[in-house]
Amino acid sequence: MRVRSLMIKDPITISDRTSVQEAIHLMQANSIRHLPVVDGYKKLSGWVTLSDMKQGLLPAVVTGLSVVDLMIKNPITMHPDADVETAARIIYEKKIGGIPVVDDDDKVVGIITVTDILNAFINIMGLLTHGIRLDVNVGEKPDGFEKVSRVIHDQGGEVISVGIAAHRTDKKIHYFRLKQCPVEPIVKALQDNGYEVVSFAG
Q: What are the φ and ψ backbone dihedral angles of 117, each rounded to 5 degrees?
A: -70, -40
Closest CA to 103 of 82, 124, 72, 83: 82
Q: Is the pLDDT of residue 136 over 90?
A: yes
Kindly state the percentage of the chain with pLDDT values over 70.
98
| Alpha carbons 149 and 137: distance in angstroms, whole number | 12
| Alpha carbons 199 and 202: distance in angstroms, whole number | 11
Q: What is the mean pLDDT of residues 62-88?
A: 91
Of the listed ranges 27-31, 157-161, 164-168, the one predicted with least confidence: 164-168
Q: pLDDT grade, residue 65 (50/70/90)?
A: confident
Q: What is the mean pLDDT of residues 72-78?
A: 95
Instruction: Name the strand (E) or helix (H) holding 72.
Output: strand 72-73
Q: pLDDT grade, residue 168 (50/70/90)?
A: low
Look at 169 and 140; give whichever has higher pLDDT: 140
Q: Measured between alpha carbons, how far is residue 5 from residues 9, 22, 116, 165 in Å? A: 9, 30, 10, 25
| Alpha carbons 108 and 14: distance in angstroms, whole number | 11
Which domains, from first to last, does the chain contain? 3-121 (3.10.580.10), 126-201 (3.30.70.260)
pLDDT digits (tens, 9 = 90+) for 104-119: 999 999 999 999 999 8
Task: Kindly report whether the global pTM for this prediction surpasses the value 0.85.
Answer: no
Q: pLDDT grade, residue 121 (50/70/90)?
A: confident
